[in-house]
Amino acid sequence: MSSFNDRQLIDFVYAEARMLDEQRFDDWLNLFTEDARYWMPLAPGQTDPLLHTSLLYEDKLLLRVRVERLAGARTFSQQPRSRSHHLLQQPSIERVDRDAGTCTLRTAFHYVETRLDTQTLFAGWATHDLVTEGSALRIKLKRVDLVNCDAAFGNINLFM
């Protein structure tokens, strides 16, 4: 972590959201470590994804399957494709351990997902646990806490 300054850590979060909005899903997937997790809790304050039900709790393999499905020509549920837009508050750096090469950032967001005539707004906070791998930053855990996480949702087609 010593080779990354605060601005680079914050810019990493912005760049990740832009990749999602531009549907550069392969590039986005490459931001994750091999043992990474993407977690969206089902209840406010949820502390353990293994002991409680979650909206999403996916490892890199499941993320890859979803990315491949989104890219598939025969994914009829995505014709026309869903689109998204992230509006991020400036990420705050919550914790840095330069010796261990880890840090945690928290970002408030509004996220819009749209397909055909349906537009859905989500609001919440994303927490990124980042690690250094060689000379690059990687996501070890991305946790997405929705304000209304315990509401009934339709399909969430893309990634927040």
What would the pLDDT profile of 87-139 be if each residue is shown by its tens digit? 999 999 999 998 899 999 999 999 999 888 889 999 999 999 999 998 899 99
- The C-alpha atoms of residue 114 and residue 30 are separated, in whole angstroms, by 25
pTM (2 d.p.): 0.93
Is omega for the bond preceding 80 within 30 degrees of 0, making it cis?
Answer: yes
**What is the distance between the alpha carbons of residues 29 and 22, in angstroms, rounded to a whole number?**
13
Tell how strand 136-146 and strand 32-41 pair up.
parallel
Residue 156 lies in a domain: no
DSSP state of 78: G
In a domain, 131, yes or no: yes
Angle at 151 between CA 145 and CA 155, to 5 degrees: 85
CATH classification of the domain holding 134: 3.10.450.50
156 or 143, which is more confident: 143
The DSSP call for residue 151 is: S
Answer yes or no: is 101 within a domain.
Answer: yes
- Establish if 128 belongs to a structural domain: yes
- pLDDT of 2-59, one tens digit each? 688 999 999 999 999 999 999 999 999 999 999 999 999 999 999 999 999 999 999 9
Give me the number of domains the chain comprises: 1
In a domain, 123, yes or no: yes
Residue with tokens 């014709």: 79
Whether 160 is covered by a domain: the verdict is no
Residue 132 in domain: yes
Whether 152 maps to a domain, the answer reads no
Tokens 């749209």 locate to: 114
Partners of 148 in the β-ladder: none
Residue 150 and residue 45 in contact, taking contact as beta carbons nearer than 8 Å? no
Question: Among the residues of the chain, which ranges form H helices?
Answer: 6-21, 25-29, 60-71
Domain ranges, residue 60: 6-45+52-146
